[in-house]
């Protein structure tokens, strides 16, 4: 099974990279190339484990053809060939003539071929894993010895000796000799493109792929294709910021002669220089490439039809008794499979739920609860003393909103948690192991549901404030009464106050001003009103001496807004920098104020 999935993944990866080289290698739609390469990697990781129902697979369609009354009958010794692309491979159980098997059994024992292959594969993974760790360690040593300078969103690491500039994560490694070079700003712009576009993630994924598929030439080709495309993207980002093309290409020649310091990075690689210069001078590709991207990205998920199908679960019948499905046999040993009379007894709800006509008056309420006109919510509170039998009863009940409580068990059939499942959503907790902790809760309401590992003060107050005549409260491991729920409130309040105290300490350290960047707004339709709003915001920052950061296609930040009408805009992301002012020694918010603006401008390919 392991080798089957491994070989399937290798075939997918090799086929995908060869298809990329054949159709998209010369494409100038570089971002789409990056998406396609990532999709090929994900397909090779996921598709071998996807097994569809037999009726959806190629094997199922062939079986239909064989059994169709319109198909001529076959002789007993005739068989249609089965699809081999994604069929399961078992190297240890090949059929062989009986004479051959008898001959082998009389000789000395031999090591099964699967064990030998597994040993060789494991040794290769070990060697390449050590190689990966060595590269990481050398990078760490270089970082520790470097002189660091923190900048806005990235870090500069100046190193001694000859060093080709490269970026890893949010750190840009430069030789100190580069400080005297006129190419410093140009090189910094190039490496910032790698940082802003998070190219290190692609490189690390490709390197880890080599550890897993070191034997596959497709993995080595994939690593080369990823690095080449990332360099193309960085080059384009530099040229889109109006740098002189010839000056930039001369800079590449000057700094590509130095040896690369670490292969876990994007860098001025001399071996890619010719390809990069050719790509800079290449004319934009035809829009017909988009049809190719759409076809390939839509075909990748469909390849799972070649996998071995999921067999339908048969039923086990007996002449002495009724049929029993396999799903019923999954019930743990010792449980009675007969119907539980208490489940059909409507009085069980009355025994589990205590209703009061009027909620108790609360001294502190986080969320005021509006009166319910119908049974529109329910809560399942599970305490540390909950028993399996109590949870088993709940799991056999039907709840509102088509929800059902599922008990989670490990391989030893031990209860480890519970999940409230519904259409398109689920939420759950693990079983509480500490006797002094607050109970967990799962709940459902109109439109949403949720779970809390420990009851929060907000949820306790919401339960207490609810109309218990119209809201169902299921308590396991503690009495289903308002008094029992209210008894949990002091501990929940202590936890809440501890969190508030930590927040107060943080606010005091911040001098009672919390500054943060709010979630961004994206403009993709550039109406005159939208552009005027951006210009007004930038002008407001300039007049108010507020922070203004503008970047184009992930390039170096600047503090002036370019002429937007001269750019072929793809989208603009607007990030507001907000300051919250709090009253001293409290968490009371006094005012909110705009203190800066960050604009990320992206142009079309």
pLDDT tens profile 535-583 = 888 888 888 888 888 898 888 888 888 888 888 888 888 888 999 999 8
Distance CA 67, CA 62 (A): 9
Cα dihedral 44→46→49→50 (10° resolution): -110
Helices H / strands E in the chain, number of each: 18, 19
* DSSP codes, 343-376: HH-THHHHHH----SSPPP-S--SSPPPPPSS--
Rounded percentage of the chain residues whose pLDDT exceeds 70: 75
Neighbouring C-beta atoms of residue 292, cutoff 10 Å: 16
Most confident of 114-118, 319-323, 354-358: 114-118
Q: Report the alpha-carbon angle 9-14-19, nearest 5.
A: 125
Q: Are residues 489 and 536 in the same domain?
A: no
pLDDT at 275: 84
Domain boundary among 496, 528, 559: 496
Let me know if residue 491 belongs to a domain: yes
What are the start-end ranges of the H helices in 241-335? 245-255, 273-280, 289-302
Q: What pLDDT was estimated at residue 32?
A: 94
Tokens at 354, concatenated: 């205590």
User: Edge-to-edge strands of the sheet including 147-151?
Assistant: 147-151, 154-159, 171-175, 166-168, 266-267
pLDDT at 279 over 50: yes
Short-list 427, 429, 435, 403, CA closest to 416: 429
- Is residue 433, in this structure, part of any structural domain at all? yes
**Same domain flag for 582 and 552:** yes
Q: What is the predicted pLDDT for the residue at 210?
A: 92
- pTM value surpassing 0.85: no
SS3 category, 34: helix
**What is the structure's pLDDT at 337?**
28
- Residues 379 and 463: their CA atoms lie apart, in Å, by 8
b/e for 524-544, b at 16 or more Cβ within 10 A?
eebeeebeeebeebbeebeee
Question: What's the CA gap between 239 and 269, in Å, rounded?
Answer: 18
Asked if residues 154 and 170 have their Cβ atoms less than 8 Å apart, the reply is: yes
List, in sequence order, every residue forming a beta bridge with 558; answer none if it has no partner. Answer: 550
3-state helix, strand, coil in the chain (%, to 5): 45, 20, 35
One domain, residues 461 and 388: yes
- Is the CB of residue 169 less than 8 Å from the CB of residue 179? no
Which tokens in the block code for residue 149?
């300078």
Q: Which helix (H) or strand (E) holds 422?
A: strand 415-422
Do 478 and 528 have their domain in common? no
Q: Which helix (H) or strand (E) holds 379?
A: strand 377-382
Tell me what pLDDT residue 479 has: 84
Closest CA to 379 of 403, 359, 356: 403
Residues 523, 477, single domain; the answer is no
User: Which residue has tokens 């000799």?
Assistant: 177
Assigned domain for 99 exists: no
- Give me the mean pLDDT over the 489-508 stretch: 85
Question: Do 569 and 595 contact (CB within 8 A), yes or no?
Answer: no
Q: Which of 235, 250, 282 is the last residue of a domain?
A: 282
State which of 194-203, 312-321, 335-344, 458-467 shows the largest mean pLDDT: 194-203
Note whether 416 and 534 are same-domain residues: no
Q: Are residues 151 and 234 both part of a single domain?
A: yes
CA distances from 71 to 66, 82, 525 (A): 7, 17, 57
Looking at the predicted structure, is the pLDDT value of residue 99 above 50? no
Is the pLDDT score of 322 beyond 60?
no
Which residue range forms the structural domain that includes residue 356? 341-496
pLDDT digits (tens, 9 = 90+) for 66-86: 434 433 333 434 443 443 333
Give domain status of residue 172, yes or no.
Answer: yes
115-124, 148-157, 190-199, 360-369: lowest mean pLDDT where?
A: 360-369
Phi-psi region of 422 (alpha: psi -120 to 50; beta: other; left: phi over 0): beta
Q: In the sheet that 472-476 helps form, which strands lie side by side, from edge to edge? A: 448-452, 440-445, 377-382, 472-476
Rounded Cα gap, residues 44 and 300, in angstroms:
9
**246 in a structural domain:** yes
Do 171 and 261 reside in the same domain of the chain?
yes
Instruction: Report residue 331 as tokens.
Output: 């019930």
- Tally the domains of the chain: 3
Q: How far apart are CA 38 and CA 87, in angstroms?
A: 25
Residue with tokens 């070989």: 7
Of 440 and 5, the structure prediction assigns the larger pLDDT to: 440
- The whole-number pLDDT of residue 366 equals 30
135 and 238 share a domain?
A: yes
Q: What is the pLDDT of residue 415?
A: 87
Task: Indicate if 415 and 559 belong to the same structural domain.
Answer: no
The 3-state DSSP class for residue 545 equals: coil
pLDDT in tens, 230-276: 999 988 988 888 777 888 887 777 766 555 556 777 666 666 777 88
User: Is 206 among the domain residues?
Assistant: yes
The answer on 521 and 589 residing in a single domain is: yes
Q: Is the pLDDT of residue 346 over 50?
A: no
Instruction: Give the total residue count for the chain.
Output: 605
Residue 431 in tokens: 């079983």
Q: Which residues contact 372 (CB under 8 A, 6 or more apart)?
A: 466, 467, 470, 471
Whether 220 is covered by a domain: the verdict is: yes
Single out the residue in 441, 469, 496 at which a domain terminates.
496
Residue 400 · residue 416 · CB < 8 Å: no
Question: Residue 561 falls within a domain, yes or no?
Answer: yes
* Residues 228 and 349 grouped into a single domain: no
């Amino acid at each position: 099974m392991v080798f089957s999935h491994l070989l399937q993944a290798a075939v997918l990866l090799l086929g995908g990279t060869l298809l990329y080289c054949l159709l998209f290698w010369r494409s100038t739609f570089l971002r789409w190339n990056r998406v396609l390469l990532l999709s090929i990697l994900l397909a090779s990781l996921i598709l071998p484990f996807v097994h569809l129902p037999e009726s959806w697979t190629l094997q199922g369609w062939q079986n239909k053809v064989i059994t169709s009354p319109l198909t001529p009958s076959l002789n007993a010794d005739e068989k249609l060939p089965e699809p081999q692309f994604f069929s399961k491979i078992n190297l240890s159980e090949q059929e062989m003539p009986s004479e051959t098997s008898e001959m082998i059994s009389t000789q000395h024992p031999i090591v099964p071929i699967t064990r030998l292959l597994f040993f060789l594969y494991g040794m290769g993974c070990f060697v390449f894993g050590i190689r990966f760790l060595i590269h990481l360690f050398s990078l760490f040593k270089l970082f520790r010895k470097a002189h660091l300078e923190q900048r806005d969103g990235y870090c500069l690491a100046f190193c001694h000796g000859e060093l080709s500039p490269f970026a890893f994560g949010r750190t840009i490694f430069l030789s100190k000799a580069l400080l005297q070079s006129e190419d410093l700003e140009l090189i910094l712009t190039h490496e910032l493109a790698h940082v802003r576009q998070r190219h290190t993630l692609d490189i690390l994924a490709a390197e880890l792929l080599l550890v897993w598929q070191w034997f596959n030439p497709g993995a080595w080709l994939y690593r080369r294709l990823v690095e080449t495309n990332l360099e193309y993207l960085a080059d384009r980002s530099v040229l889109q910021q109006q740098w002189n093309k010839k000056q930039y290409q001369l800079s590449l020649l000057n700094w590509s002669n130095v040896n690369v310091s670490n292969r876990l990075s994007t860098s001025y690689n001399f071996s890619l220089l010719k390809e990069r210069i050719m790509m800079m001078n290449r004319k934009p590709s035809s829009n017909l490439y988009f049809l190719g991207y759409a076809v390939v990205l839509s075909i990748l998920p469909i390849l799972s039809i070649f996998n071995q199908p999921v067999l339908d679960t048969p039923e086990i019948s007996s002449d002495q008794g009724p049929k029993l499905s396999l799903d019923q046999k999954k019930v743990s040993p010792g449980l009675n499979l007969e119907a539980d009379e208490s489940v059909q007894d409507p009085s069980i709800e009355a025994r589990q739920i205590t209703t009061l006509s009027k909620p108790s008056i609360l001294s502190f309420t986080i969320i005021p609860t509006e009166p319910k006109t119908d049974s529109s919510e329910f809560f399942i509170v599970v305490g540390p003393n909950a028993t399996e039998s109590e949870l088993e009863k709940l799991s056999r009940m039907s709840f509102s909103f088509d929800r059902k409580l599922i008990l989670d068990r490990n391989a030893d059939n031990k209860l480890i948690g519970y999940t409230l499942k519904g259409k398109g959503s689920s939420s759950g907790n693990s079983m509480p192991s500490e006797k002094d902790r607050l109970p967990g809760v799962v709940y459902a309401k109109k439109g949403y549901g949720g779970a809390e590992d420990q009851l929060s003060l907000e949820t306790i107050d919401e339960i207490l404030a609810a109309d218990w005549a119209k809201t169902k409260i299921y308590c396991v491991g503690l009495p289903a009464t308002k008094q029992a729920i209210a008894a949990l409130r002091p501990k929940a309040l202590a936890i809440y106050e501890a969190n508030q105290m930590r927040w107060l300490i943080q606010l005091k350290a911040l001098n009672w001003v919390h500054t943060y960047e709010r979630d961004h707004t994206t403009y993709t339709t550039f109406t005159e009103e939208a552009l005027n709003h951006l210009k007004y915001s930038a002008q407001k920052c300039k007049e108010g001496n507020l922070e203004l950061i503008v970047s184009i296609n992930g390039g170096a930040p600047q503090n002036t807004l370019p002429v937007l009408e001269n750019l072929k805009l793809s989208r603009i992301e607007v990030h507001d920098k907000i300051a919250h002012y709090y009253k001293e020694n409290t968490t009371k918010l006094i005012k909110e104020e705009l203190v800066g603006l960050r604009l990320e401008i992206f142009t079309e390919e």
